[in-house]
Amino acid sequence: MHEVMGMAKLIRKRETLLFAIIVVMIAVFSTRAADFASPDNLAGIFNDTAILIILALAQMTVILTKSIDLSVAANLAFTGMAIAMMNAAFPGLPLIALILAAIVIGAALGSINGFLVWRLEIPPIVVTLGTLTIYRGMAFVLSGGAWVNAHQMTPIFLSVPRTPILGLPVLSWVAIIIVALMYMLLRYSQFGRSAYATGGNPTAAVYAGIDTGKTKFLAFVLSGALAGLSSYLWVSRYAVAYVDIANGFELDSVAACVIGGISIAGGVGSVAGTVLGALFLGVIKNALPVIGISPFTQMAISGTVIILAVVFNARRERNRGRIILRDRAAAEVAA
Amino acid sequence: MSMVSAPPGKQTSEKRVIPNRLGTPFRRILASWEVLLFAVAVLIFIFNSLASPYFLDAWNLSDATFNFTEKAMIAFAMALLVISGEIDLSVASIIALASTAMGAAAQVGIGTPGLVLIGIGTGLACGIFNGVLVSVLKLPSIVVTIGTMSLFRGISYIVLGDQAYGKYPADFAYFGQGYVVWVFSFEFVLFIVLAILFAILLHATNFGRQVYAIGNNDFAARFSGIPVERVKFILFLLTGIMSGVAAVCLTSRLGSTRPSIAQGWELEVVTMVVLGGISILGGSGTIGGVVIAAFVMGLVTFGLGLLNVPGIVMSIFIGLLLIITIAIPIIARRIKAMSSR
């Protein structure tokens, strides 16, 4: 049953393959634009992709529990608007308070999703399709449709994510720290293991004493909190807040997960895969203008990549381990 | 979603009779989703006519129907798809692609019949594409259609960029702007005809029973000899065609095509289906419910429009409507379970 360990396994791993594809892509693009593969440009691409990486990890946690969070981008828009307005109205507020506020507001919006999924057992896709429009609508109600522009924001609010530390901007470091934290959380914490179990085999998870509903709730809260954190990074990076920011970004976060080998059926996937999935999209996005392709093609490319990735994932999932316990008991206990 | 309670009858009876149609007591009919929804529609109607003096006017009401007829056409097909346990999130993008194809054809001088064929044909092609991915390659429809949602609209963006197509032939305007008799627009009449056709398909044919069977228990359906994958394929195809039809109507009504056409409609169509009492988990619901839901959503948005509520605020109401309508029966069941304990 066990496969031979070592090189063969490493090559067959999704993460290795994806990494190789990204390297080849960068090599090909650098034949068209010589400095595409320069360390500076690569660092720039990573910095550009930092927010997508954070949101994709948020999405991944939710998907692991057999759910989906389509409201992450709307959450980002609302929370970003809220803290930008706070910053504009009370310039004296310390930045740390605003960032904490962003995380708390984001987590609160996430907990609404989580509550509806956990307590009312409404399917996650319906809940988050609904809250997607509600949160973005609330961003409009909050701002009255007005923009918060760079000159209304305090200098420190704008400068922190750009400040370089050891050659990389703070924005990149935040992404790196989140990646490390998420890796430890999902691999070593009780919540992380419960998340995998909840999605992998809900019935067995229930028998093992895992509260699958609560695990989903916590995943949504975490997703909301990360969306809240991203909202500050987004508003500060682009120096503007308006109702439509990050419109459609929820699909990019799902795309990064699917490309990274996260099974939409739950329970399968790694932090490394998600990060590589996000970087894959980031490289393409940055390469299009360099190789002279219209940015309008990007949407079709991500669509094609999502479909190809799903086809590819399905192949792999077909020979997954046996599921000994049928889903019935889970439906009775939690669903 | 629906829990089948064990019949309280005697298990030992000599001959078990399984009736085709269970006798439904009057109280059950009154408490059915469709009747409740109809009551809501009437209430909104009364509220609107009190809130705005302009509401109760035949032409005004006729205008209001444009708010939902195109979405409802897709919702009928989507209802069948959701009953079978699948979903199609790419419908709005199919509209964009079909509209772009029609626009491109109109620029080279193709006439109205050709444009209609191209619009519906594009929808059909997109439906086949989704259908192949879901029922031949056996991929989960949620992710597949999230992918095709960006692919189809993405192609429109590649073709059009920030441009728009105009210049449609004059008689092409009939589908979105013409009237059959008096205040009854072509779109409204088409909506009624399609509602009847889909109601017959779902409630009076073999195919319809198969759709319910698949949604209730895909496994059992397969063992009963139902060609599950073929039925699902046909449903994706139907949804594609209906999106093409909606694209013809919408393009004709607007008289122009941009890649952002019908943006976000997938949400409204799904909301309409769920509001109509179709279980998002599959297996139950009626076309009648979807028809009433279409009226409810049309009346709500039109009423809010008369009160000068901006579109994005209306979307909050739509989102709330979606969640509340799903939550209410769940909460009601909980309360019932608690009080009977």
- Decide if pLDDT at B237 tops 90: yes
Band of residue B303 on the pLDDT scale cut at 50, 70, 90: confident
| Segment B31-67, tens digit of pLDDT | 678 888 888 888 888 888 888 787 888 888 888 888 8
**Is the separation of the CB atoms in A85 and A231 below 8 Å?**
no
Nearest alpha carbon to residue B245 among B65, B106, B76, B73: B73
B164 touches chain A (CB under 8 A): no
| Segment A193-225, tens digit of pLDDT | 999 999 999 999 999 999 999 999 999 999 999
Stretch B59-87: mean pLDDT: 92
Is B161 in Cβ contact with A243 (below 8 Å)? no
B337 touches chain A (CB under 8 A): no
Residue A335's pLDDT is 36
Residue B55's pLDDT is 80
Nearest alpha carbon to residue B270 among B251, B249, B236, B293: B293
Band of residue B121 on the pLDDT scale cut at 50, 70, 90: very high
- Rounded to 10°, the helix B265-275/B91-107 angle is 130
- Decide if pLDDT at A59 tops 70: yes
Separation in Å, CA B59 to CA A251, B65, B66: 40, 10, 12
Stretch B267-292: mean pLDDT: 90
User: Which residues on neighbouring strands pair with residue A241, listed in sequence order?
Assistant: A148
Nearest residue, CB atoms, A131 vs list B149, B158, B319: B319
User: Which residues on neighbouring strands pair with residue A165, listed in sequence order?
Assistant: A168
B6 touches chain A (CB under 8 A): no
Band of residue B287 on the pLDDT scale cut at 50, 70, 90: very high
User: Considering only CB atoms, which chain B residues are within 8 Å of A265?
Assistant: 140
Q: Which domains does chain B have, with CATH numbers?
A: 58-340 (1.10.3470)
Is A314 in Cβ contact with B138 (below 8 Å)? yes
- Decide if pLDDT at A7 tops 70: no
Tell me how far apart the alpha carbons of residues B151 and B273 are, in angstroms, rounded to a whole number: 24
For residue A275 the two structure tokens come to 């990060």
User: Which residues on neighbouring strands pair with residue A168, listed in sequence order?
Assistant: A165
Is A314 in Cβ contact with B137 (below 8 Å)? yes
User: Considering only CB atoms, which chain A residues are within 8 Å of B327?
Assistant: 116, 120, 122
Residue A312's pLDDT is 81
Residue predicted with more confidence, A330 or A298: A298
User: Considering only CB atoms, which chain B residues are within 8 Å of A132?
Assistant: 267, 319
**Is the separation of the CB atoms in A106 and A75 below 8 Å?**
yes
Residue B123's pLDDT is 98
Stretch B307-316: mean pLDDT: 85
User: Considering only CB atoms, which chain B residues are within 8 Å of A301?
Assistant: 154
| Segment A107-159, tens digit of pLDDT | 999 999 999 999 998 889 889 989 998 999 999 999 998 999 999 999 999 99
Stretch B162-186: mean pLDDT: 90
- Helices assigned H by DSSP within A189-270: 190-200, 202-207, 212-238, 249-259
User: Which residues on neighbouring strands pair with residue A169, listed in sequence order?
Assistant: A164
Q: Residue B178: left (phi > 0), alpha (psi -120 to 50), or beta?
A: beta
| Segment B128-141, tens digit of pLDDT | 999 999 999 988 89
pLDDT > 70: percent of chain A: 90
Work out how many CB contacts closer than 8 A connect A with B: 136
- Decide if pLDDT at B14 tops 70: no
A254 touches chain B (CB under 8 A): yes
For residue B300 the two structure tokens come to 């709500």
For residue A314 the two structure tokens come to 């399905």
Band of residue A294 on the pLDDT scale cut at 50, 70, 90: confident
Nearest alpha carbon to residue A45 among A268, A254, A275, A285: A285
| Segment A43-55, tens digit of pLDDT | 999 999 999 999 9
- Decide if pLDDT at A190 tops 80: yes
Band of residue B22 on the pLDDT scale cut at 50, 70, 90: low
**pLDDT, mean over chain B:** 88
Separation in Å, CA B17 to CA B21, B87, B180: 11, 36, 49
Nearest residue, CB atoms, A303 vs list B138, B142, B147: B147
- Decide if pLDDT at B329 tops 80: no
User: Considering only CB atoms, which chain B residues are within 8 Å of A125?
Assistant: 87, 142, 280
Q: Which sequence spans correspond to the domains of chain A?
A: 36-246+326-333
Residue predicted with more confidence, B81 or A324: B81
Band of residue A71 on the pLDDT scale cut at 50, 70, 90: very high
Nearest alpha carbon to residue A330 among A219, A221, A208, A220: A208
Residue B54's pLDDT is 79
Residue B341's pLDDT is 65
Tell me how far apart the alpha carbons of residues A100 and A228 are, in angstroms, rounded to a whole number: 9
**ipTM of the prediction:** 0.81
| Buried b / exposed e along A194-210 (16+ C-beta atoms within 10 A) | bbbbbbbbbbbbbeeeb
- Helices assigned H by DSSP within B108-260: 112-131, 141-160, 174-177, 186-203, 206-216, 218-223, 228-254
Those residues with Cβ within 8 angstroms of residue A24's Cβ, 6 or more apart along the chain or in another chain? none
